[in-house]
Structure formats: structure tokens, C-alpha cells
Amino acid sequence: MADRQSKWNVSAMPDLSGRTAVVTGANSGIGLVTAGALAGAGAHVVLAVRDEGRGRAAAATLRGSTEVRRLDLADLASVKEFAAGWEGPLDLLVNNAGVMMVPRGRTKDGFETQFGTNHLGHFALTNLLLPHLADRVVTVSSGAHRWPGAAIHFDDLNLERRYNPQRAYSQSKLANLLFTLELQRRLTAAGSPVRALAAHPGWAATNLQSHAASPVTRALMQAGNRLFAQDDRAGALPTLYAAVADLPGASYVGPDGLGELRGAPALVGRSPAASDAEAARRLWTVSEELTGVAFPAAVAGDA
């Protein structure tokens, strides 16, 4: 199996005809590549994007069956509107959208921007769509969950007393992994066949890094993009592998190269903090309180 993983690429995608997928943040970068690969394999792909104009322009570059729907993960009203408008089955949800090391800010609901967008928006979206989901949820995390000091600051989730862009980003990416862990526990307990998985792209050159708050950080990232990064097509492979491979729930996929910066998709490890089941349960409870969205009473295939 390890040999198959090391050689896996888009040419190994199975036929996805008749399946429906939602990809958040699909108008550029890894999200666009992911949407394109899924549509190219036969799936009907919904590009869930904040800017519908940019989304339509992106969809026009793809082959296959696609549509564009508005979704602003930094606005829970938008998340609820998107989910309320969903009809019919959904096979795959790819929680890809995110912001990275941006200046201090708040979402429309008053949450710190990175925690609110990267975690809480996807938390609410996933739970609201779960009654429709038949196969799996893939949430895109990051190696940043391992950064020194990475933690869920339960006493200060909005980082009002200790904000810096790196701390906020690592908290949100750690939250993605804890969310996946607890979501899988709940799905298993409910007897659902739906699987929750996570993936990270390694170091992929996308426009995500261009929004970093610090000019120095942006310059360093641009230099790193030129020297070390893989392109967005390679960066999307872990997400795609998690989306279609027969993997256990709660699996985490990333590049198999040195430092998980680049390479072919493979199962990778996570930090002890990202494996803390008690922290995952606590984060879930807090997230329900903050969003007003809970794990649904009925999910696909529940007992």
C-alpha cells in the first residue's frame, strides 16, 4: 500500500460519475485544482465561493459538470443560507477555504478572522450538510498545527489578549484536526458510514501566502515559494487522495517528502495536541455554543 501511495496522482482518480461534491474556496489555488480534478473524473462539483463573479470565471476554466454558489464562511448567516438551499444527496464535502496569517480582524459574527473562517465556518457548514452527506468530509489543515506553541486557547479563543497572525493561524489549523477527530467519533457512534478525514498540502505556492499581515513574512514566503514549494496541482493531491482513496475515518494525508513539504500523498502523523480526544470534545462543545449549530439528530446511515 505504501508503494501505491507513493505513486498516486490524478491519473489514478476513480470514475466519479453520478456523484456530487462541494468544494469551498474553489475559485483559485488548491481549491480550484481540487474542483477541476473531481469534475474531470465525472463528479458534479459545486464551487462554494464568496465572490460569485470570480467563481464563475474559475468554473469556466474547468471541464465537466460544475456550478457556482455563494458561501461566505466568515458570515454564519451565509453558511446557513447555503445549507438551507441544498437539496438532494451530497457525496463529498471538501472544507478547503481559508485565510492565512492575516492582520487582526473579526468575522461578521465577531470571531477572530482565522478561527472564525477556517474552523467555525466549516464546523457549521459540515453539521448543517451532514443529513445530506453519503460518503465523506475532507478538511484541509496545515503543518502549522505543529508550530511551537500551537494550542487551542480556550480561555481566549479570539486571542484578544495575545493576538499575532501566526498564533491565530496555527490555532485554526489545529482546530481543523480536532474537529475531524471528534466528527469521526460522532459519526461512528451514530452508526453512519460517512467518514471524516483531513489533509494538508505541504508547502504549495498559492495566493494564500500573499495576504500575510507582515511584509517581512510575505517576502519570506514568496522566496520560499520560489525555492521550496510545489505547485498548486501537487499541493492538491493530498486533498484528492483523502477524497477518493479507501482510508479509515480520521486519517490525515500529506506529502511524503522531507518535512512533509512536498511529495506524493501518503498517510502522515499529527501532533499530540491534534490527537487529544478530550480537547476535541471540548472544542466541539464550544463550537456548538458559538455557532448555534449542533451535530444533527439524523445523519446518513445512522443506527
In this structure, how many other beta carbons lie within 10 angstroms of the beta carbon of residue 103? Answer: 11
301 assigned to some structural domain: no
pLDDT, position 203: 86
Q: What is the pTM of this model?
A: 0.90
- Known catalytic residue: 241? no
Alpha-carbon distance 269 to 228, whole Å?
21
Query: Coil, strand, or helix at residue 7?
Result: helix
297 assigned to some structural domain: no
Tell me which of 163, 169, 241, 252 is the catalytic residue.
169
42 assigned to some structural domain: yes
Alpha-carbon distance 211 to 206, whole Å?
11
pLDDT tens digits, 188-234: 999 999 999 999 999 875 555 444 555 655 555 454 445 455 888 99
88 assigned to some structural domain: yes
Residues 174/151, Cβ–Cβ less than 8 Å: yes
Mean pLDDT, to the nearest integer, of 93-122? 98
Alpha-carbon distance 240 to 253, whole Å?
10
Residues 140/198, Cβ–Cβ less than 8 Å: yes
Nearest residue to 267 (alpha-carbon basis) of 246, 291, 289: 246
Q: How is residue 71 written as a grid cell? A: 458561501
CATH number at residue 232: 3.40.50.720
35 assigned to some structural domain: yes
186 assigned to some structural domain: yes
299 assigned to some structural domain: no
Number of domains in the chain: 1
Determine the structural domain holding residue 117 and report its residue range.
Answer: 2-291
pLDDT tens digits, 120-136: 999 999 999 999 999 99
More confident residue, 212 or 114: 114
- DSSP symbol at 245: S
41 assigned to some structural domain: yes
Q: How is residue 129 written as a grid cell? A: 450538510
